Structures are given as structure tokens and as C-alpha cells.
Amino acid sequence: MSINSFGRILRYTSWGESHGSAIGAVVDGCPPALRLSEEDIQPWLDRRRPGTSRYSSQRREPDRVRILSGLWEGRTTGAPISLMIDNVDARPKDYSDIAPAYRPGHADFTYDAKYGIREPRGGGRASARETAMRVAAGAIARLIIPQVHVRAYLVELGGDGIDRKRFDIEAIDANPLFCPEPEAASRWAALLDQARKAGTSLGAIAECVATGVPAGWGAPLYAKLDADLAGAMMSINAVKGVEVGDGFASARLKGDENAD
């Protein structure tokens, strides 16, 4: 079974380990005649790139994406699009001391239980590095449905939430924590410094808003948009909860308050 694939109409398959030679993805089902180049994908990878602030992984990766197939004269042909990023800063030695031990929350134990073998360098396949290919494939998806605008940001970090009355969409890209409220961004930076000094880390809640989605997308029941989104979100490392719309808050609303 294709356990490394996601999507119905547009379907992608990701491959690669954190410290292998490269990571990549094959995007299948992309409509033809779409203008596409590496420049459409790279800015999104740059935003995601580790090593750009002291708050993220210190790995230094240029994360240059290459498109290896599916294009002719700058346009998609309907053929599968192969994306690849060489792992430049793969440093197997750095992890040599942790290889024998199971790290908490890193799927080490689970992989061993399932497969009896695992690639120990940097979490191997379970590394958050895999999300780079989701970002790359997502950049193509954005071009396919330009009428939809998707934006994500953090609304809470270490239990400290933003003040929604001071929500400033411009602030999101102006701080390394993608926080839409400048003051919260400063507080969070301090919280993170503190946590790092204490040798621990902090949880966070991200919010994602898509505008321009027409009524009727997705399919009823099992292929419902909400269902596919929830599954996709929960497949990202460390995600433990997903809400749509009012989410859990709607459980505290009366039916007439909650009605659309």
C-alpha cells in the first residue's frame, strides 16, 4: 500500500530520510499547462528553512529544490512532477551518541516495534525534515487553485495566547515565530530563551485560515474536506489535536448559537 502518499485528485508520495543523501516527492495528477518553476516553490521552503533564527533547528540547509520531471518549456505536462532537495547538512556523526537510545517523542521505539530496524540519524524518516516536501508540494497545489489563499500563524506558545484584538496580519512575517501580534512575539521569544536554558521545549498552537474556498469542495462523509484536513494535520509530527471552525468551543455552544 502507498503509505507514503497523500491526496485524492492531486496525489503526492514523499521519500527520504533526515540524514540520507536527499529527500523528495512525486506529485501526480497535476493539471497540464500550468506555469511552474523552482522559483514558485523556493520561497515557501525558504520560509520553512531551519537555521534562520535561534528558535528553530540549528541545522544549516539551503534546501534548494529541483524539479526533475513533469515540465516542458516552463509548463506542466500532466506527467508526474519529481521534486528533490539534496541533504547538504546531513551530519551522521552528530547523532552518533544518541543512536542507541530511544529519544522520547521521536518515534524511535515505535519504528523498532514495527520494523525491527530504523535509520537512527536525526529521526530518519520520522524527522520533521519530511515536512519540507509537504511545503514543496503545497507550493504546487497553491498554483493549481490560485483562488484559494491559505495563511498560517501561531496563536499560542507555551500556554501564552495572542490578544486577538491586536491581531496584525503584517506582523506574521516580521518575527521569526510567525506571531500575528508583536507584543506576544516578544514575550514568546523570552519564553523560548528561558526554556532553552532550562533544557526543555514549549508547545504551541497554530491557526490556518483558507479564504476563497468555494462551497462544495471535498466529498460527503469519508472524503469530507474536514476529514482529509484533520488526517493531514494529524500526520505531522507532534500534532496532537485538530479543530475545524469553532472546534471544541462549539461543544459549549447551544445549537442555535452554533448554526451556520
Contacts (CB under 8 A) with its own copies, residues 91-110: 104-105, 107, 109-110
With 0-12 CB in 10 A as exposed, 13-18 as middle and 19+ as buried, what is 198?
Answer: exposed
Do 191 and 157 touch, CB atoms closer than 8 A? yes
C-alpha cell of 38? 523552482
Nearer to its own copies among residue 45 and residue 204 (C-beta): 204
Per-residue binding letters, 14-53, with its own copies (x by CB under 8 A): xxxx--xxxxx-x-xx--xx--------------------
Distance CA 150, CA 91 (A): 34
For residue 146, what are the CA distances in angstroms to 83, 100, 149, 213? Answer: 21, 47, 7, 10
Number of residues that bind its own copies (CB under 8 A): 108
Q: What are phi and psi of 127, to 5 degrees?
A: -65, 150
The yes or no reply on residue 195 touching its own copies (CB under 8 A) is: yes
The yes or no reply on residue 260 touching its own copies (CB under 8 A) is: yes
Residue 153, helix vs strand vs coil: strand
Nearer to its own copies among residue 27 and residue 185 (C-beta): 27
Of 228, 229, 224, the C-alpha closest to 209 is 229
**Binding span for its own copies by CB under 8 A among 35-43, 54-62, 65-73, 135-143:** 65-73
Contacting its own copies (CB under 8 A), which of 36, 41, 45, 111?
111
Contacts of its own copies in 204-243 (CB under 8 A): 204-205, 214-217, 219-224, 226-235, 239-243
Residue 73 Cβ vs its own copies, minimum distance, rounded to whole Å: 9
Contacts of its own copies in 114-153 (CB under 8 A): 114-120, 124-126, 130
Of 45, 81, 47, the C-alpha closest to 65 is 45
The yes or no reply on residue 74 touching its own copies (CB under 8 A) is: no
Contacting its own copies (CB under 8 A), which of 1, 101, 164, 165?
1
